[in-house]
Amino acid sequence: MRLEIGKIFINDIQFADVTKIENGVLFVNKEEMISAIWEDEHIASVNLDIARPGESVRITPVKDVIEPRVKVEGKGGIFPGVLSKVDTVGEGRTHVLKGMAVVTTGKIVGFQEGIIDMTGLGAEYTPFSKTVNLVLIAEPKEGVKQHDHEKSVRFLGFKAAKYLGELAKEIEVDEVVNYETKPLLEQIAEYPELPKVGYVYMLQTQGLLHDTYVYGVDAKQIVPTLLYPTEIMDGAIVSGNCVSACDKNPTYVHLNNGVIEELYAQHGKSINFLGVIITNENVYLADKERSSNWTSKLCKYLGLDAVIVSQEGFGNPDTDLIMNCKKIETEGVKTVIVTDEYAGRDGASQSLADADAKADAVVTGGNANEYVVLPKLDKVIGHIEFVNIIAGGNENSLREDGSIEVEIQTITGATNETGFGYLSAKTF
């Protein structure tokens, strides 16, 4: 598949009478946009706000972050099986609003949501302090069940991103980047002298607000399978997670997976990037065995020389990570795992819940237990009181002076395992 990504750089967002993009500025008619995306019986109110890099603004609790995109040419639409028909995506042309994001917040859905600070120490730990953010504040009606609340906020975020993405359909882009993965035998033959490399993409699927969706299907229900990397860029995988903010892959990160980006950057130079194997992270041992067996089988079937495995979540999924690593290595495929660590606040504890001698090539995203003090900021979008109960916080996290003492696992994207800049060709 060949996909052209047309980038339209957004430098600012402003509220206006007309929704449009002009000279790098996204103008939004707040009332019209809310009316277009809000038709949910579980949501009592919807509002929009803007958070810009460098502003003294804190967003919390953060549910999801989504980048607006639109299909211009090729089959299907953005978020297939969710908002668009279940066509196979990943080819043709897609336009993207770069430099901005839709961030969803409101009353807390799950106890492991996060914080985005647009300035100060917290801003150094999240990539979303560098994007201009249109913040969607969705407040639930009284008595709404958690799973209904989560779904409502999730879909509002997708609808908002699609609504804004449609603005990019007819706009002249600032930059075009091409990505291509050919059918397997053709791809192997193109660079026979280069090592054949794949990517095992572990998706959070533990249930109870720990869900990821593939073409609209809860990934708990899948067995490991193959995807073209470009399918992921078109929204084939979306987040439904409320896991620890530093551990979950927001939808934005699925769309901009840093491992995929860097593998493509080395494709045809130091490696032959053959594609992505997606797998899930299960609760029961038999399911873990099944998925890791299939993952290693697919690695061998593709004839891979090396593979990168990234993990989403921690604790229980560490077992899935090590099972995948151990079994893939046993098949003779060199394996590198990408994970964050939970090594205690002093860094002295065992950093993963599982281990094996074959896991001897590790890229770390850092220690999520590290303690930080976030300064008081002038404006909060959302509900500041929840920082005391989200994962990484405690009953004394919110201080009287307005500062917050928390572990960095509370910061959205802080140590995200499929983020940006982790890998290089030297890995192999």
Round to whole Å and give the CA distance between 369 and 27.
40
Strands 196-204 and 334-341: unpaired
- Residue with the two structure tokens 């002038």: 378
- Helical spans, DSSP H, in 302-427: 316-330
- Helical spans, DSSP H, in 122-199: 146-165, 184-190
Indicate if 325 belongs to the active site: no
The number of CA neighbours under 13 Å toward the Cβ of 378 is: 6
- Residue with the two structure tokens 């995306």: 37
Nearest to 350 by CA among 358, 341, 359: 341
Find the catalytic residue in 242, 246, 299, 325.
Answer: 242
Note the Cα 409 to chain centre separation in Å.
15
Round to whole Å and give the CA distance between 361 and 325.
10
Round to whole Å and give the CA distance between 19 and 36.
12
Burial label, 395 (beta-carbon count in 10 A; 0-12, 13-18, 19+):
exposed
Round to whole Å and give the CA distance between 167 and 32.
14
Round to whole Å and give the CA distance between 112 and 360.
30
Identity of the residue numbered 135? V
* Token duo for residue 235: 């929204």
| Positions marked catalytic | 242
